[in-house]
Amino acid sequence: MINMSSTLTIHHIAFKSDNLESYCHFYENVFQIKAEKTLHDETGHVRSKWYRIGSVILMLERRDTAPNTSQLTPEHRNTFVFSIKKNEKEIWRTHLQAQNISLCSESPYTIYFLDPEGQRLGLSHYPD
């Protein structure tokens, strides 16, 4: 078993907003940053903007549901993601299972789970 904490670094932080345009404007002006990547949905509307702050990516994303936080599903919450190596993904999956922590979702690069307060956490090897 590897020392789990010795390999962790912050990969990205994802904040959801009901008004993405003004949310991005706030971060761009306060922190004097520019988006390095803009993602669009299938209709061409901006879905998210990514900003690099040091080695961390700040992802500002459009929330597609009502802001009643008690009814938000995990994928609609803010997300804090740690970097892992690609070959560690299955080790982490096994470790989480051993701790009785269920995955709430998964992408090809990232596994997501909830902390005891319901905050969404992830472990990602994007872009490998």
Burial class (CB in 10 A: 0-12, 13-18, 19+), 12: buried
Question: Which residue in 5, 3, 124 sits closest to 56, CA to CA?
Answer: 124
Q: Given this model, what pLDDT does residue 119 score? A: 77
Distance CA 94, CA 76 (A): 25
Tens digits of residue pLDDT in 26-65: 899 988 999 999 999 999 999 999 999 889 999 999 987 6
pTM of the predicted model as reported, rounded to 2 decimal places: 0.72
pLDDT digits (tens, 9 = 90+) for 75-119: 667 888 999 999 999 999 999 998 899 999 999 999 998 876 677
What 3 state SS string does the chain have? CCCHHHHCEEEEEEEEECCHHHHHHHHHHHHCCCCCEEEECCCCCEEEEEEEECCEEEEEEECCCCCCHHHCCHHHCCEEEEECCHHHHHHHHHHHHHCCCCEEEECCCEEEEECCCCCEEEEECCCC
Where do the domains of the chain lie?
A: 4-124
Strand pairing category for 56-62 and 46-53: antiparallel
Nearest by Cα to 48 from 57, 34, 37, 56: 37
The predicted pLDDT at position 18 comes to 85
Domain 4-124 in this protein, CATH class: alpha beta
Q: With bands split at pLDDT 50, 70 and 90, how would you rate the model's confidence at 70?
A: low
